[in-house]
Amino acid sequence: MRTARDFHIAIIGAGAAGLMAAVAASEIVPGRRILLLEKNDRPGKKLYATGNGRCNFLNRGAEAAHYFSRESAESVEDWVVPVLQASPPAALESLFDELGVTAVHLEEGRLYPRSLQAESVVEALADCIRTRGVELRTQTTIVECRKTADGFILKSDSGETHRTRCVLLATGGKAGIQYGSSGDGYKMATSLGHRLAKPIPALTQLVVESPDPALAGVRVRGAVSLWRFSAAEAQEVSRDEGEIQLTADGISGICTFNISRYYEIIPNRSYAVRLDFFPEYGDEELFKFLKKRKQQLDGRSAGIFLNGLLPAKLAAHLMAEAGVDFVARSGSLEEEQLHRLVAQCKRYERRVAGTKSWKHAQVTAGGVLLREVDPGTLQSTKIPGLYFAGEILDVDGPCGGFNLTWAFASGRVAGMSAARSAASEENVRSSPAEPAAP
Ligand SMILES: Cc1cc2nc3c(=O)[nH]c(=O)nc-3n(C[C@H](O)[C@H](O)[C@H](O)COP(=O)(O)OP(=O)(O)OC[C@H]3O[C@@H](n4cnc5c(N)ncnc54)[C@H](O)[C@@H]3O)c2cc1C
């Protein structure tokens, strides 16, 4: 078994953040002083599943304004700035290029490996740390992280212990639990005195109370908004536009994913999701547009009045909800029916029953409180030698490569900081004693 001073840094979790931290740290201290611990039988298991197997690994336009925090909603931008300044998307893109992963830009700043295979990203990182001699231990679940006078002792599920000067927690959150991130890092962080913003699933589907199973499979462009109700008020808490997907039990699609982080179980509060299938029109404009269309399609059946504007299944459903007689002529539609149709098209609303489980969430909102971590180094302000990177922190981003950008940027900053600190401590320890004053 290795003994006390063998490791400068132990990184717990070989996901995006942990792998990048190991790459960064091994630039500064010899790789054999770095231990990377992973509970799965291989590193980067979640990375293989990202971007539908293609891995949207960076967003070129990522900046602090893209990120959210549950506990530090107001100050998250200021907190994230130093991390993205030290490790901006352009620098990460160059780094990946050096490692052999050439990026291809598909849309809206989203970068993918040119191979369009997530394994290219995992292999490049794993190959780099292997070449630099980082010690990777897979099938090792860390169950305890204890502070000692001069470092930390880590205990694995097999009872093995590892002693290290610095610890970097890169265990992820709880999203995509089947890939290994089951909240272990939160337990370790809290056992060391850190506090959490309650983790909740984000970038996930909303489950609704009365779904329309007949609409399952419909994909339509529009706006989706989340409304919160209390006894006193109804408040729109988030809104996004894009492709909406209707499923057998709820509402999905990237724009729904993006607003899902705002759903939370709070006593005496309920939520509704509202879909607007014509966000480009106000109510009055849509009414005028439909009125004109009624004249244009005068002789045609009212049953197909919305066809060509919306997917047929959805169009028929909205017409039925608005009480339109399908066998009537479009020209016979009354103004009141058109107003009802406008309301259906712009305010299709369902009560939210919840979000999908952790297994279906792509990201965790919440995590280790940002005010207890120094954004310049990602070192704990409570426990010297303890560092954090990636999703374990109370930072989350929207779909589009922003979460992996965060994992890689924070992994790089934390890995470098931990290595610098360990290396400077080493120099102090190994430097000859000061000559005695004459
Ligand atoms: C299906 C899916 C698709 C996604 N697609 C994208 C995308 O295209 N673009 C994007 O930007 N983001 C995407 N994300 C989000 C992104 O993958 C995560 O935000 C990112 O992987 C977080 O990195 P991390 O290193 O912090 O955590 P993780 O990637 O979760 O890695 C944590 C690692 O720690 C290990 N671990 C946990 N506990 C222990 C322990 N006790 N001992 C040892 N090891 C432990 C886990 O096994 C895991 O390997 C997706 C997520 C999912 C689930």
136 SS3 class = strand
Read off the pLDDT of residues 4-17 as tens digits, 9 standing for 90 and up: 447 999 999 999 99
In short, whether 109's Cβ falls inside 6 Å of ligand 1 is no
In short, whether 404's Cβ falls inside 6 Å of ligand 1 is yes
Spacing, Cα 102 to ligand 1 middle (Å): 22
- Tell me: pLDDT of 1 over 50: no
Token pair recorded at residue 188:
């370790």
In short, whether 183's Cβ falls inside 6 Å of ligand 1 is no
Amino acid residing at 197: A
Spacing, Cα 290 to ligand 1 middle (Å): 47
Read off the pLDDT of residues 394-434 as tens digits, 9 standing for 90 and up: 999 999 999 999 999 999 999 999 999 988 777 666 655 44
In short, whether 199's Cβ falls inside 6 Å of ligand 1 is no
Domain 4-202+364-427 belongs to what architecture?
Answer: 3-Layer(bba) Sandwich (3.50)
Token pair recorded at residue 369:
């409180």
What ranges in 249-355 are assigned the alpha helix state H?
254-260, 283-296, 312-321, 335-346
Do residues 206 and 251 touch, judged by C-beta distance below 8 A? yes
In short, whether 154's Cβ falls inside 6 Å of ligand 1 is no
Helix or strand holding residue 155 (H, E): strand 151-156
Whose tokens are 């990184």? That residue is 11
Q: Using N-to-C axis directions, what is the helix angle for 402-430 and 76-86, rounded to 10°? A: 70
Token pair recorded at residue 336:
């009141």
Amino acid residing at 395: V
**Residue of the CA atom closest to atom 3 of ligand 1:** 50
Spacing, Cα 82 to ligand 1 middle (Å): 22
Read off the pLDDT of residues 324-370 as tens digits, 9 standing for 90 and up: 888 788 888 899 999 999 999 999 999 999 999 999 999 999 999 99
The domain segmentation of the chain, as residue ranges, is 4-202+364-427, 206-279+348-355, 295-342
- The residue among 216 and 31 whose pLDDT is bigger is 216
Bin 372: left if φ > 0, else alpha if -120 < ψ < 50, else beta: alpha
Q: Which of ligand 1's atoms lies nearest the C-alpha of 402?
A: 11
**pLDDT, position 329:** 86
- Tell me: pLDDT of 97 over 50: yes
**Structure confidence at residue 268 as a pLDDT band (50, 70, 90):** confident
